[in-house]
Amino acid sequence: MDSSPEHICADEVTISKKEYGLPSSDVLLKMCNIFKSLQSETRLNILFLLSNNDLCVRELELALGVSQSAISHSLRLLRQLDLVRVKKEGRFAVYSIADKHVEQLINVCQEHVLEE
């Protein structure tokens, strides 16, 4: 925003978290946890698959070639963060994307990568 050749560095008195309106540490922590959950190739793949179809654990396992246990652990994390939802259908646990935010997150990120 400043195009002058010399930056003016604010001092300690001028700078404080509050002036810049940072989110509360509670919100920040939750955001971290969400991004944490998106940093894994397995979980990212799960979300891509679920954004096309609701799928059960076995189907995710077959599609991704990852062990049932690993898929299940991944789904637990995504569930806890409300990024996916489950409904029990007989012996199957059918998973789906929780809401549009989740799709937006992976779409925006994919755009950023593709537009390099």
Partner DNA sequence: TCTATATATGAACATATATTCATATGATTA
Partner DNA sequence: TAATCATATGAATATATGTTCATATATAGA
Exactly one of 90, 100, 112, 116 binds DNA (CB under 7 A); that residue is 90
DSSP 95: E
Q: Which stretch binds DNA (CB under 7 A): 16-24, 88-96, 105-113?
A: 88-96
CB atoms within 10 A of CB 84: 24
Site for a copy of itself in 2-31 (CB under 8 A): 2, 4-7, 9-12, 15-17, 20-23, 25, 27-31
- How far is 16 from 22, CA to CA, in rounded Å? 10
- In single-letter form, the type of residue at position 42 comes to T
Give the residue with the Cβ less far from DNA, 59 or 103: 59
